[in-house]
Amino acid sequence: MNNITGNPAFALELNELTVRYGPGCPSCGESPESLDRNRCPVCGSVWAVRGVSLRAREGETLGIVGESGSGKSTLMRALHLDEAPTSGAYFLDGGEENLFGVSPRRRRYIRDSLLGMVYQNPYLGLRMFFSSGANVAEKLIAAGSRNVRGMTERAEYLFRYMEIPFSRVKEPPRNFSGGMQQRVQIAKAVANNPPVLLLDEVTTGLDLSVQARVLDLIKRVQREFGVTMIVVSHDLAVVRLLADRTAVMRDGVIIEQGLTDRILEDPRHVYTQTLVNSML
Amino acid sequence: MLKIKELSKEFIMHIQGGVRITSFSGVSLEVGGGSLLAVTGPSGIGKSSLLKCVYGTYRPTSGSVLYESGSGGTIDLAAADDWELLALRRAEIGYVSQFFHVLPRVSATEILTEPLIARGVPADEAGETARALLRRVGLDRALWEMYPATFSGGEKQRLNILRAVVTRPRLLLLDEPTASLDRGYKGRVIDLLLEIKSSGAAMLGVFHDRDALSALADSRYDMEAGRLLPAGGGATR
Ligand SMILES: Nc1ncnc2c1ncn2[C@@H]1O[C@H](COP(=O)(O)OP(=O)(O)OP(=O)(O)O)[C@@H](O)[C@H]1O
Ligand SMILES: [Mg+2]
Ligand SMILES: [Zn+2]
């Protein structure tokens, strides 16, 4: 496996990502089969993500499914450079630089300009007591915008695109419904036209009709922004709707990945078969 | 254009005690450009599975599916990686599934324009192509901007066929494309498929009815017999 530089064919490439919470010990370090699910019975460390490798081509959507606690959010935080992983290498656009090893300043630049993230919990992605407009402006400023007029126009465009009445731009997201909060998060995440968009359970917990509207919006962004997307969901139906390829995660490990229709219709792993069979 | 050699598919059902189910085995056949090979045999013999193995929805257990791609070079679809399959599906392989999976909240017209726009066709031209096709298979104009979720079986099926042919694929996989159509609409669909065939596409199809079979098929592979049989007769029961 090429760990020094990314493969130019891929817009996003993750090699052997491991995130361990806790000190680790010889037992779990040398024999992962001794783990109890993702936890080491000897030292108590949690191996939230273990040896995960992913690739996505430009404009492609990769779905990640798995049950609660399988490590999906941890993986997404690592991809957004929110926390340093235990080990692994991460490249964008076939670049030479392992993004896990860059300076804090460079990390900030990558997060602000090359990545967009939408969190399951809008409190993680938005400043709830700032105006919605300020939330988007903050992201634009972070990527170097200084022109107030330009920023206002961009915010106006994004709000219209996300079907949020511009008259509500001065209101803080805390006043909004769950679906609207997610749409503000999406506006903020795509504000700088990042090549990579990370979506973690964006529709979980929303009413079905609200969910449908957010999903339609994501489909539109997918089509019209040409962005490479990683979509995490515990719901196979969401992934079926959005993803070209799908990876199945369990206990921190990817147990199976492939074309989404193949994962749904020809699942090989016992866990994937169970998951597909439990679909409505 | 398509050469299938000793193809087999087996499923292992882990949640049912690891039973092995052989879907089909030892299928060898060839389809040339500008011709249609019909696949026949009784229900459950593995006709749909065979098509899915070609399209990549199923990973064959053994054998090969050699496809001469339009971009040059022969590729074994049974061993192709995800990205090769995605690119071929986008550019040159069409598939009409037996059951139409509607995308929620996408209108009939959009279902047809989207793949064209994704390939760089200007929106107005894509719209024209879509409308011409909708007219051609006689889909009621009132339905063009509606969501297909509420369409009848026959309406859905005509749309399903159009979705696969709108990009003019070089290889077209057809799984009972005329099953729920009445005579008039069936004729229109057959005409359309004949035109696509005569433009040089290779077609592999499962047919429910004799009319379609005799109008479209140049040769016939019977999965029960495991070999080529005379093209006439032998529609799926
Ligand atoms: N900071 C942390 N310290 C210790 N353990 C953690 C920490 N963060 C996550 N974990 C553990 O890592 C594992 C993966 O958690 P994660 O939140 O990534 O799961 P998830 O797949 O996103 O679940 P859900 O579907 O419920 O959101 C869990 O066992 C969790 O308890
Ligand atoms: Mg999570
Ligand atoms: Zn340990």
pLDDT, tens digit (0-9, with 9 covering 90-100), for A171-203: 999 999 999 999 999 999 999 999 999 999 988
Tokens of B153: 């079986």
Which residues of chain B neighbour A246 with C-beta distances below 8 Å? none
A58-62, A208-212, B125-129: least confidently modelled range: A208-212
Does residue B68 carry a pLDDT above 50?
yes
Does residue A224 carry a pLDDT above 90?
no
Beta strands in chain A (DSSP E): 12-21, 46-56, 61-66, 87-92, 115-118, 196-200, 228-233, 245-250, 253-259
Sign of CA dihedral A162, A163, A168, A171: negative
Its pTM stands at 0.91
Could you tell me the domains of chain B?
2-100+170-230 (3.40.50.300)
* B134 CA → ligand 3 middle, Å: 63
Residues with C-beta less than 6 Å from any ligand 1 atom: A 21, 38, 46, 48, 66, 68-74, 234
Does residue A4 carry a pLDDT above 80?
no
Does residue B222 carry a pLDDT above 70?
yes
A226-235, A260-269, B219-228: least confidently modelled range: B219-228
pLDDT at residue A3, as a whole number: 63
* Ligand (nearest to CA of A119): 2
Tokens of A177: 């419904």
Which residues of chain B neighbour A261 with C-beta distances below 8 Å? 56-57
Give the atom of ligand 1 at the shortest distance from the alpha carbon of A70.
Answer: 21
Tokens of B12: 């292992």
Which residues of chain A neighbour B56 with C-beta distances below 8 Å? 259, 261-262
Which residues of chain A neighbour B104 with C-beta distances below 8 Å? 212, 241
**Gap between the Cα atoms of A2 and A14, Å rounded:** 10
**Gap between the Cα atoms of B192 and B179, Å rounded:** 16
Confidence of residue A2 (pLDDT cuts 50, 70, 90): very low
Residue B138, number of CB atoms within 10 A of its CB: 16
* A32 CA → ligand 3 middle, Å: 9
**Gap between the Cα atoms of A215 and A5, Å rounded:** 34
Give the atom of ligand 1 at the shortest distance from the alpha carbon of A249.
Answer: 21
Give the atom of ligand 1 at the shortest distance from the alpha carbon of A77.
Answer: 18
The label of the residue with tokens 């990579």 reads: A196
**Gap between the Cα atoms of A37 and A70, Å rounded:** 9
pLDDT at residue A40, as a whole number: 96
Within chain B, how many helices (H) and strands (E) appear? 7, 10
CB contact (8 A) between residue B105 and residue A244: no
CB contact (8 A) between residue A269 and residue B14: yes
Tokens of B116: 């064209």
Strands of the sheet containing A245-250, edge to edge, are A115-118, A196-200, A228-233, A61-66, A245-250, A253-259
A93-107, B95-109, B197-211, B215-229: least confidently modelled range: B95-109
- Within an 8 Å CB–CB cutoff, is residue B83 touching chain A? yes
DSSP state of A70: S
CB contact (8 A) between residue A274 and residue B103: no
CB contact (8 A) between residue A265 and residue B85: no
Helix (H) or strand (E) holding B94: strand B93-96
pLDDT at residue B237, as a whole number: 47
To the nearest whole percent, how much of chain A has pLDDT over 90? 75
- Within an 8 Å CB–CB cutoff, is residue B99 touching chain A? no
Residue B193, number of CB atoms within 10 A of its CB: 24
pLDDT at residue A1, as a whole number: 45
CB contact (8 A) between residue A60 and residue B86: yes
Mean pLDDT throughout B33-48? 94
pLDDT at residue A102, as a whole number: 96
Of B12, B15, B85, the CB nearest to A277: B15
**Gap between the Cα atoms of B71 and B156, Å rounded:** 32
Q: Are strands A115-118 and A196-200 parallel, antiparallel or unpaired?
A: parallel
The label of the residue with tokens 């001065």 reads: A170
Report which residue type is found at A46: V
CB contact (8 A) between residue A273 and residue B14: yes
Confidence of residue B236 (pLDDT cuts 50, 70, 90): low
Confidence of residue B147 (pLDDT cuts 50, 70, 90): very high
**Gap between the Cα atoms of A240 and A245, Å rounded:** 9
To the nearest whole percent, how much of chain B has pLDDT over 70? 97
pLDDT, tens digit (0-9, with 9 covering 90-100), for B74-86: 999 999 999 999 9
